[in-house]
Structure 1
Amino acid sequence: MNRLTIRKPDDWHLHLRDGDMLKGILPETSRHFARAIIMPNLVPPVVTSADASAYRERIMAALPADDRFEPLMTLYLTEGTDPDDVEKGYKSGLVKAVKLYPAGATTNSHSGVRDLEKVMPVLERMAKIGLPLCVHGEVTTPEVDIFDREAVFIETVLDPLRKRLPDLKITMEHVTTEDGVNYIRAAERNLAGSITTHHLIINRNAILVGGIRPHYYCLPVAKREKHRLALRAAATSGDARFFLGTDSAPHADPAKECGCGCAGCFTATNTMSCLAHVFEDKGALDKLEAFVSLNGPAWYGLPVNEETVTLSKEAQPVSYPEKIETGAGPVTVFDPMFPLFWRVE
């Protein structure tokens, strides 16, 4: 197969930042994607419906004139979040999900939740009205090894929460482990998982072998090869509980290439080419549309996109810019470490 036409894809986990960075990197997503769940971990974070509305206006103002793109807004869950404001935002159609960051888990997560009991009124209201909770599924206690954070989160936080609030719809974002895949597969209802482009391609060797390579450092951190293979099996299976959430996370190069570099891989530019390679490698190109275009809308209760995109396989490798120049500095594009032959026409 050298040509594939699918419904236009969506990205169910995206970082756009703000200001000059937003203006510089938004076109890299809006070029190929119809919609995206927008992460709220700005500084200050997007906590209220008013914050989300203002942020959406800034996104739309930065959108290239010829692109059609819908930002799907989320709220950053804090221990002071007002359940009434959350419900108001949801019923207005503005707020599509609420994001739980354990405090300190990743970039700009210090305003996140330390005591889950303090946000139970919000979670109970969300379960009642059907608003999804997106979780960064890691514990942050220092005694837990960074490579075990996801598995421990499932056991000590996620499973007890799901038993307490079985009607709460939860997206386990950027799943990185076989444990996470198996837990989602075992769930009878109200649990799904997004999978990133880069976690389908790299394992932890990419970060550490041959020197520290900061542009492969992300959170959750890439794990052992067995976990990457489990993610590939899940993504290419057609299972409706798994869908694309790139977690494309831009940082200017100086913030990555320093003594304490930021976490995040910027994959927006070449995600569709990378995914076509992965799915072809697994003999599953017929499952690509489900992963990028069908499963996510079904989970979030939205219609699939009417527009289509066509991917074609070239005889020679497709080239992408090494960096995206923005007013906030250059952002390095994810290098999958193999040639890409698929491109979006």
Structure 2
Amino acid sequence: MNQSLLIRRPDDWHLHLRDGAMLNAICGYSAHFGRAIIMPNLVPPVVTGEQARSYRSRILAALQKHVTLRPLMTLYLTETTDPADVVQAHRDGVIAAVKLYPAGATTNSASGVRDFNKVRPVFEAMAEAGIPLCVHGEVTDPDIDIFDREAVFIDRVLDPIRRKTPGLRVIMEHITTSDGADYVRSQDNLGATITTHHLVINRNHILVGGIKPHYYCLPVAKRESHRIALRQAATSGDPRFFLGTDSAPHPDHAKESACGCAGCFTAPNTMSILAHVFEEDGALDRLEKFASLNGAAFYGLPANDDTIRLVRRDTPATYPAKVPAGDDEVTVFDPGFPLYWHVEDNA
């Protein structure tokens, strides 16, 4: 017997759409979302309000008939970012947030911040104007183990920033540890996104039986106890936790190389995977909070008026294994289990 679940249209509070041929190839796979926070780590990065405006125009042109998705732009924070430009871009409705990448933390982050004192005027201007800061929460010190970098970032970087600028609203993006979840629960003016793939995989999926490049992401998946902590946070209904897929397409030749790129392309099947996870954890009644309500509330936006329907059928939903992108292909994230929840768009 089919089981049906009607929820407000979900939002994706952390999404990579890339540019050019890749943008045109993959943007439609996020069309079932109402809004998405778009990452600015292009090459070169999106660092000014005018560049964000131009990038938004390219995204809207690529979306074409996929009118449901509304891109919410971000600026890439650098040590030379002009606070006045940030405030004006937000006031004009061009950007919804600013993104902090510690230099070298992830894909295309070389232009990120090394000296956090140099960006303090930007933080102060953002706090006064009510502009959220999206944070990639890892230190990049080579002496810190990659599995400890989120916890160390909280102690060394994030907590001092928030103490010095207490009015700043911060989103810890793609948390991967119980440390991150516990810190978010203990604070005010702090939210966190959780990705689809971090609810499904742990570090064994990447390493056991040979290296699995399409499960490699940054922040890297941690041990099983952390995955369980993330699922508890996501399914709890706590308004501080919400969906940010961090769906990050890379050409297969870049993933399957001697130095493979970090990122999982989860946009096509995210809602089917989430329904599976929440059903497993007896929390289907809280899926709407995580995917559709909590993030909007944290950003001070209304929930979407329209809905999608998730239907559990006896036969699995089918998704492409690969998506053509110009001369390249992108592998779609494989959760490792059949997806019986089908997405029906009610727009």
TM-score by length of 2: 0.98
2:330 aligned counterpart, secondary structure: strand
| Structure 2 residue runs without a partner (length 5+) | none
What's the counterpart of residue 318 of structure 2? 319
- May I ask how many residue pairs the two structures share in their alignment? 343
What's the counterpart of residue 190 of structure 2? 191
What's the counterpart of residue 141 of structure 1? 141
Give the whole-Å Cα distance in 2 for the aligned partners of 1:225 and 1:61.
Answer: 41
What's the counterpart of residue 272 of structure 2? 273
Q: CA deviation at 1:67?
A: 3.1
What's the counterpart of residue 14 of structure 2? 13
1:244-290: CA deviation from partner (whole Å, max 9, x where unpaired)? 00000000100000000000000000000000000000000000000
**1:33-48 paired onto structure 2 within 5 Å:** 33-48=33-48
1:52 aligned counterpart, secondary structure: helix
**1:98-247 paired onto structure 2 within 5 Å:** 98-187=98-187, 189-247=188-246
User: Are the equivalent residues in 2 in contact too, given 1:197–1:274 (CA < 8 A)?
Assistant: yes
Q: CA deviation at 1:152?
A: 0.1
1:129-172: CA deviation from partner (whole Å, max 9, x where unpaired)? 11000000000000000000000000111111111111000000
2:73 aligned counterpart, secondary structure: strand
Moved more, 323-332 or 250-259: 323-332
What's the counterpart of residue 26 of structure 1? 27
Give the whole-Å Cα distance in 2 for the aligned partners of 1:10 and 1:298.
Answer: 11
2:171 aligned counterpart, secondary structure: strand
The amino acid of 1:53's aligned partner reads: R
Correspondence 1:330 to 2:329? yes
User: Are the equivalent residues in 1 in contact too, given 2:28–2:66 (CA < 8 A)?
Assistant: no
What's the counterpart of residue 2 of structure 1? 3
Q: CA deviation at 1:34?
A: 1.0
RMSD, aligned α-carbons: 0.8
Q: CA deviation at 1:66?
A: 4.6
Correspondence 1:65 to 2:65? yes
Correspondence 1:296 to 2:263? no
User: Are the equivalent residues in 2 in contact too, given 1:21–1:328 (CA < 8 A)?
Assistant: no
Correspondence 1:283 to 2:282? yes
The amino acid of 1:293's aligned partner reads: S
User: Are the equivalent residues in 1 in contact too, given 2:87–2:126 (CA < 8 A)?
Assistant: yes
2:75 aligned counterpart, secondary structure: strand
User: Are the equivalent residues in 2 in contact too, given 1:140–1:149 (CA < 8 A)?
Assistant: yes
Distance 1:328 1:190, change over 3 A: farther
Q: CA deviation at 1:64?
A: 3.4
Give the whole-Å Cα distance in 1 for the aligned partners of 2:133 and 2:37.
Answer: 12
User: Are the equivalent residues in 1 in contact too, given 2:81–2:122 (CA < 8 A)?
Assistant: yes
The amino acid of 1:70's aligned partner reads: R
Give the whole-Å Cα distance in 2 for the aligned partners of 1:271 and 1:328.
Answer: 25
Q: CA deviation at 1:329?
A: 1.1
Correspondence 1:87 to 2:87? yes
Q: CA deviation at 1:29?
A: 0.3
Give the whole-Å Cα distance in 2 for the aligned partners of 1:122 and 1:224.
Answer: 36
Give the whole-Å Cα distance in 2 for the aligned partners of 1:226 and 1:166.
Answer: 31
Distance 1:232 1:326, change over 3 A: same
Identity among equivalent positions (%) equals 67
User: Are the equivalent residues in 2 in contact too, given 1:252–1:328 (CA < 8 A)?
Assistant: no
Give the whole-Å Cα distance in 1 for the aligned partners of 2:90 and 2:273.
Answer: 34
| Structure 1 residue runs without a partner (length 5+) | none
Give the whole-Å Cα distance in 2 for the aligned partners of 1:332 and 1:69.
Answer: 22
The amino acid of 2:320's aligned partner reads: P
Q: CA deviation at 1:328?
A: 4.9
Distance 1:44 1:306, change over 3 A: same
Give the whole-Å Cα distance in 2 for the aligned partners of 1:324 and 1:283.
Answer: 33
1:265 aligned counterpart, secondary structure: coil
Q: CA deviation at 1:242?
A: 0.2
TM-score by length of 1: 0.98
Distance 1:328 1:170, change over 3 A: farther
The amino acid of 1:219's aligned partner reads: L
Q: CA deviation at 1:317?
A: 1.4
Correspondence 1:260 to 2:265? no
2:97 aligned counterpart, secondary structure: strand
